[in-house]
A and B are shown apart, each in its own frame.
Chain A
Amino acid sequence: MFKKTPVAASLVAAASLLLITGGCSATNTGKTAEAKPAAAVPAKVDYTKMTPAALAEYLVLESDGFDLKQPTQEGTTGRHRLTQDEIQKACSLGKGKEVDDKTREKVMALAAASIKYPEGGIKLGDWKKGRELAWSGYGFRTAHNPDDHVKGTPGGNCYNCHQLATDRTGGNIGPALTGYGARGTSPDMLKYTYDVIYNPHVYFACTNMPRMGAVGVLNQQQIADIMAYLLDPNSPVNKQ
């Protein structure tokens, strides 16, 4: 897990306080006398005086827009899920914006520091188990229909974005990995594949791909199983 920085949230809170004391809320200006008792308007902060970034942060974390106390499967709360860590913050790029060199270096260093390797070295697991994990999108969903990790094992979600074996239709947000095993199983290739599943930002700063190992969606054994699905010559990924 990464350290969450509460700095932005407190900045927004401070800004809101200033606005309260400043008075003159635009949310009041259009109110008719008749609508007054409805009191549907929390006239505390003036949205029009905030930057878009500050207002977004306020709406997500301070405005009672989300169930911030909602329990999560990992024992935290909704607030923790919504509070950005350093990589999430650095990679929240706007329209058409690409990550700059300084940010890229920082993100890659943070990612490298997050990766933990198996004690006995990286080995391939069971491709059949890996196949099921690669297909499964179960786990860690909360909102109106929380996933129950006692009833179902969280999966790797790989097929949502990648074409793997051709017996199932995968997405195309990520590159197709059909025939991935042709890359071989040298120590370098094992490490590369492990790293990309564990925390892909180490090679691809600000990629869309989740950090399956670093955030604890997949454990080391599960990563080994998915690696076997990708690299084992007997896996359907490599039997075309």
Chain B
Amino acid sequence: MAYVRSIEHADIVHRCFRCGYCKFPSDYVDFNCPSHKAFGWDTFSSGGRMWLIRAWLSGEIETSPRFAQILFSCVACGNCEAQCVYPRFKDFLLNIFEETKSELVDEGKIPPTVRDYFKAITVNGNPYKLPQDKRGEWSEGMGIEEFSGQEYLFYVGCVGSYDEVGREMARSVGKLLKDLGVSFGILGAEETCDGNEVKVLGEKGLFTALAEENIIKFKAKGVKKIVTLDPHALNVFRREYPKLGGAFQVRHYTEVVADAIGGGRTSFGPLKTRVTYHDPCYLGRRNLIFEPPREVLRAVPGLDLVEMRRWAVDSFCCGGGGGNFFTDVIGTGEQSPARVRVREALETGAEVLAVACPQCAKMLVDGVKAEGIEDRLEVMDIAQLLSRAGLA
């Protein structure tokens, strides 16, 4: 029996002209669509996807592994949404991609790595297939309290809880927040996946279950404010949880740190180094938080902050968005986004590539290794950099 295909925004898919503005940053310096850059075919750009979705909806092409690869390699970085020239259409580009992925999920025709990701979340509650009671291990010996009504819940997320690079970052941020006197607690082993990637990958049911569980838990514990380690968590808490009744005040740790040190309330020791900052898509382009991370970096005496050619709204994704951090549908190779991005960072003459997202951190660390430039460029989270500078 033929599968009946429909998506919520099917009636506007044909409005894409495939003019290609969506492939570029605002000044056209290079292709800024990561999957297009990685694969090199127009089909892997936003316009290509949109036209293929139209063909797929009308039955001109069938669901196939290639079609799934084209959709799931999208990193949901939002460059297309920022650059599309069609108002009242551009706002729905990412929805259309997500809705189509959701249909493939329903059809059961998704890449194996996406399937494995969903299974791991369902069975283990995290993509690493590690025990739940190890979630809080990153904080051991730090004297960080469980959440019990402090001003903020510090939400760490799956990568900060289980990944080696992420845990190091969680520890740095946790220590920094403590040093700055921020009132916060963590959920530790009680924390569960935020569901951002689950949603972007199209598993609506699983996402709703995760989000509702979190919302109930947060409310039961009296959480009003959340500070996140991961911009992906910030995104889903800010933009999706309110639709399910979970309205919390959500901030990224760089915002909280910027506030805490603002007006010279805290000063850091000197650190003579040249740093370039990589805007995480879910912090920058998707939630318009560009300045706080830079404000924090500029507060370090001697730190020379230089921008990459593509930054802020024009920033180039590390390739980890849209679930690709876990599923790697976008793949590796010379034109993989992380490798392209670290080469761009190197061009600035920076010694440190600063990040504010555990997923970006891991992706770019791997990019540096793949490029063989470990001796020339160090990837560091902002909190780690501040720790190196030290409180004055």
A binds B: no
Q: Which residues of A approach B to under 8 Å, CB–CB?
A: none
